[in-house]
């Protein structure tokens, strides 16, 4: 059984092509001659009826097949478009990502998020089918971005259908403070649908005013904090810079033209940043690096360094200026900006992006990223999964206090696996445990009213450190001090830490009275 009738098989990388051929062969054997109208595997996907149900009951299909367990690769979806199979049909059968979820992903991460998952054999095909999939996702309907605001909506408008523009404007709730502020002409200008190049002074003024309306759709810009303004600008970068630049490249504008035109838009957006000229210049460079992360020749022209693609700042201005915190997502780089999580396992998230940049000569590694802005984002996990778990750089990072030792709690919780935690230094272990305690206390303060010691739960998402503490009894005393300082010595925490009468013997007379009582009353020792 062939895989497709019309779609070109040359789209796929060699290993993927082989996997699809094997899938088609096994499908033919499973279906036999019961479904004679199905001449290729694409027919089975298109039909989606009894034949698909029969296939879905096959143990081998459920356990492992290249359609589902693929790290988020959209190569099969690309081929199905040429085959004439609806994108909704594709994802209904072969993905946990529904069309609404994908629209939300597109709103958050734009065309770049698709690009890195479009792992095709040629770069030209990758770019072309990225746009085809985006257009198929949008169609002529109002996008379900989950958040009805102009910026999220504009981020999805990557297709060139004018009908989508009208529906975008008409569907914004009247209660939205920004409703009616953006005219049709402003939307067209912001998205760049009528781009003709060489923006004159009048057009630039018009664009500036449209950007001001967009950024201030909820609150006047003058009343925003640096963080609020930074987040609004970062969000607006997706439709106004990243999607715009991607479309220019897809349309054959070339690197230099795209860079110049994108820079004009960046200058307008950055003009709202209350920072020094040096800071704005450094920020603009990082935005361009993020844009051209999908086009390595552009990175060459920018003389980008691998550090700049994984959140590690090399410019002292960005390191020293506190305003940089307001643009942490931008400075964290493409992994944080363009990660698509919905259809993939955590250990596979952005694996395709990492491989893409590595092939282009920009290796990403947790040892480097841990010392930059990416360390503060959950996406640091995807780099950790690509590396051996113990890392001297990570260990050094975790031994530090405050901002210098800050990591995302998802990353910290993963390190709690006993086989991993046991590899790290005493101070790193202590800091991780302290981090877990403080994280849980912050969560409790957000969602509960009770602060009573006995009402506090053990750190959610963190595996007990009991196994590692058995081999390092000298860590028990400082951990008890952490608990005592936070008024958190209760039976639950004692059990979570794996403390017994042995800890009382180690501590002797220094053991807190509360701990003695709890151990005795709980029957854990003595």
For helices 99-115 and 87-94, angle between their N-to-C axes, nearest 10 degrees: 100
Structure tokens at 231: 């987040």
Give me the pLDDT at residue 448, please.
Answer: 57
Report which listed range, 33-47, 140-154, 438-452, is most confident: 33-47
Structure tokens at 256: 């230099």
Give me the pLDDT at residue 175, please.
Answer: 44
Residue in 174, 247, 236 with CA at minimum distance from that of residue 208: 236
CB 68 within 8 A of CB 74: no
Report the mean per-residue pLDDT for the chain: 82
What mean pLDDT comes out for the span 299-319? 95
Residues 6+ positions from 520 with CB-CB distance below 8 Å: 526
- Say which residue, 378 or 326, is predicted with more confidence: 326
Cα angle at 383 between 379 and 387, to 5 degrees? 155
For the stretch 485-495, pLDDT in tens is 888 877 788 88
Per cent of the chain over pLDDT 90 is 31
Name the one residue in this structure whose structure tokens are 């070339």.
254
What mean pLDDT comes out for the span 433-451? 77
Q: How confident is the model at residue 174 (pLDDT cuts 50, 70, 90)?
A: very low
With a cut of 50, say whether residue 204 has pLDDT above it: yes
For the stretch 488-522, pLDDT in tens is 877 788 888 888 776 666 666 666 666 666 666 65
For the stretch 334-353, pLDDT in tens is 999 997 665 556 556 567 88
Report which listed range, 359-363, 381-385, 413-417, is most confident: 359-363
What mean pLDDT comes out for the span 283-295? 98
For the stretch 384-426, pLDDT in tens is 777 667 888 888 988 988 777 778 887 888 888 888 888 899 9
What mean pLDDT comes out for the span 214-226? 89
pTM of the model: 0.83
Give me the pLDDT at residue 12, please.
Answer: 93
Residue in 237, 253, 246, 255 with CA at minimum distance from that of residue 126: 246
Give me the pLDDT at residue 61, please.
Answer: 79
For helices 123-138 and 75-83, angle between their N-to-C axes, nearest 10 degrees: 70
Secondary structure of 446-513 as H, E, C letters: HHCCCCCHHHCCCCCCCCCCHHHHHHCHHHHHHHHHHHHHCCCCCHHHHHHHCCCHHHHHHHHHHCCH
Give me the pLDDT at residue 50, please.
Answer: 83
Report which listed range, 15-29, 30-44, 267-281, is most confident: 267-281
The sign of the torsion formed by the CA atoms of 231, 233, 234, 236 equals positive
For the stretch 117-151, pLDDT in tens is 899 999 999 999 998 888 887 764 555 555 556 67
Residues 6+ positions from 265 with CB-CB distance below 8 Å: 207, 240, 241, 244
User: How many C-beta atoms lie closer than 10 Å to residue 336's C-beta?
Assistant: 25
What mean pLDDT comes out for the span 98-126? 86
Give me the pLDDT at residue 13, please.
Answer: 92
For residue 186, the Cα-to-chain-centroid distance in whole angstroms is: 29
Q: From CA 339, how far away is CA 276, in angstroms rounded?
A: 30
What mean pLDDT comes out for the span 197-210? 85
Give me the pLDDT at residue 94, please.
Answer: 66
For the stretch 149-162, pLDDT in tens is 667 767 666 545 45
Element (H, E) at 280: helix 277-291
Q: Residue 450: what are its φ and ψ, rounded to 5°?
A: -85, 135
- Where in the chain are the domains? 9-138, 150-338, 414-522
The sign of the torsion formed by the CA atoms of 257, 263, 266, 272 equals negative
With a cut of 50, say whether residue 28 has pLDDT above it: yes
């Amino acid at each position: 059984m062939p895989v497709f009738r019309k779609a070109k098989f040359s789209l796929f990388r060699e290993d993927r092509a082989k996997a699809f051929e094997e899938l088609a062969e096994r499908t033919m054997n499973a279906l036999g001659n019961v479904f004679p109208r199905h001449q290729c595997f694409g027919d089975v996907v298109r039909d989606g009826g009894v034949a698909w149900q029969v296939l879905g009951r096959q143990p081998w299909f459920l356990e492992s097949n290249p359609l589902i367990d693929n790290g988020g690769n959209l190569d099969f979806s690309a081929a199905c478009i040429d085959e004439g199979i609806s994108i909704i049909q594709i994802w209904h059968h072969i993905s946990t990502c529904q069309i609404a979820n994908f629209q939300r992903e597109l709103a958050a991460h734009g065309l770049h998020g698709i690009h890195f998952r479009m792992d095709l054999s040629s770069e030209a095909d990758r770019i072309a089918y990225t746009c085809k999939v985006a257009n198929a996702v949008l169609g002529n309907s109002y996008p379900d971005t989950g958040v009805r605001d102009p910026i999220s909506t504009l981020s999805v408008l990557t297709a060139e259908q004018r009908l989508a523009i009208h529906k975008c404007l008409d569907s914004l709730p009247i209660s939205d403070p920004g409703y009616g502020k953006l005219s049709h002409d402003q939307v067209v200008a912001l998205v760049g649908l009528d781009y003709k190049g060489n923006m004159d002074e009048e057009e630039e003024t018009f664009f500036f005013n449209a950007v001001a309306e967009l950024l201030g759709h909820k609150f006047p810009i003058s009343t925003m904090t640096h963080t609020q303004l930074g987040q609004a600008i970062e969000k607006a970068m997706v439709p106004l810079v990243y999607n715009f630049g991607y479309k220019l490249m897809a349309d054959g504008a070339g690197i230099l033209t795209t860079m110049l035109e994108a820079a004009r838009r960046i200058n307008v957006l950055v003009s709202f940043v209350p920072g020094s000229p040096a800071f704005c210049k450094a920020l603009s460079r990082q935005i361009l690096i993020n844009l051209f992360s999908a086009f390595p020749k552009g990175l060459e022209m920018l003389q980008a360094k691998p550090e700049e693609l994984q959140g590690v700042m090399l410019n002292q201005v960005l390191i020293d200026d506190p305003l940089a915190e307001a643009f942490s997502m931008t400075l964290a780089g493409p992994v944080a900006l363009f990660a698509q999580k919905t259809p993939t396992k955590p250990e596979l998230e952005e694996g395709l992006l990492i491989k893409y940049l590595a092939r282009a000569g920009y290796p990403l590694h947790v040892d480097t990223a841990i010392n930059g802005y990416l360390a503060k984002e959950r996406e640091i996990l995807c780099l950790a999964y690509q590396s051996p778990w113990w890392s001297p750089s990570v260990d050094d990072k975790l031994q530090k206090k405050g901002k210098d030792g800050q990591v995302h709690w998802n990353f910290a919780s993963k390190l709690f696996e006993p086989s991993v935690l046991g590899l790290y230094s005493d101070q790193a272990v202590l800091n991780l445990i302290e981090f877990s305690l403080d994280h849980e206390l912050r969560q409790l303060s957000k969602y509960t009213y009770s602060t009573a010691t006995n009402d506090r739960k053990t750190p959610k998402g963190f595996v007990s450190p009991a196994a590692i503490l058995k081999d390092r009894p000298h860590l028990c005393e400082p951990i008890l001090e952490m608990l005592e300082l936070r008024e958190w010595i209760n039976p639950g925490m004692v059990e979570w830490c794996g403390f017994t009468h042995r800890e009382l013997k180690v501590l002797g007379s220094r053991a807190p009275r509360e701990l003695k009582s709890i151990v005795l009353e709980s029957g854990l020792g003595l």
